[in-house]
């Protein structure tokens, strides 16, 4: 679980967040204060799909599954 969490955090901090002064932590709310916007979310979803080996249907893309990195890994890691 922590491997997946670290991998996802590395991707978000290394590839998605261009502002080097802002680093996401495991429990950072990703959709507040503009951390993840409408462009970054597509890359984020594509990356998670690669991690879990399946497509994520739109109905599953809701706040309770995407609030933080920890939540994402708990939800999709259990599939």
Partner 1 sequence: MTTTREITIDDPMTQLSRLQEWAPGRESVLGPHMSALAAWVDSKFLEFAIQAGAQELPVPRFISRSVLERAGYFESFPASIVEESDGGCMPPAACYHCYAKLAGTSLHEPGAWTCIARCHRNEDKEEPGRLRAFAMREIVLVGSAAWVREQRQEWMDRILAFAQSLHLVVQLDAATDSFFAGGAARGRKLVQQIKGLKFELRAHMDATGTPLAISSFNLHETFFSRRFEFRLADGSDAHSGCVAFGLERWALVLALTLGPAQAFRLAEQEQI
Binding site for partner 1 (CB under 8 A): 31, 36-42, 45, 58, 61-63, 66
Least CB distance to partner 1 at residue 39 (A): 6
Are residues 15 and 39 in contact, defined by beta-carbon separation less than 8 angstroms?
A: no
> Which position has the token pair 């890359």?
43
Which residue, 38 or 78, is less far from partner 1 as judged by CB? Answer: 38
Least CB distance to partner 1 at residue 56 (A): 10
Classify the phi-psi angles of 56: left when phi > 0, otherwise alpha if psi is within -120 to 50, otherwise beta: beta
Are residues 30 and 73 in contact, defined by beta-carbon separation less than 8 angstroms?
A: no
Which residue, 2 or 38, is less far from partner 1 as judged by CB? Answer: 38
Which residue, 18 or 38, is less far from partner 1 as judged by CB? Answer: 38
Classify the phi-psi angles of 10: left when phi > 0, otherwise alpha if psi is within -120 to 50, otherwise beta: alpha
Least CB distance to partner 1 at residue 58 (A): 7
């Amino acid at each position: 679980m922590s491997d997946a969490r670290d991998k996802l955090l590395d991707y978000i901090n290394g590839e998605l967040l261009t502002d080097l002064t802002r680093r996401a932590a495991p429990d950072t709310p990703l959709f507040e204060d503009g951390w993840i916007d409408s462009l970054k979310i597509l890359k984020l979803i594509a990356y998670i799909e690669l991690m879990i080996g399946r497509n994520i249907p739109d109905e599953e893309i809701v706040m309770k599954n995407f609030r933080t990195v920890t939540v994402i890994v708990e939800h999709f890691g259990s599939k």
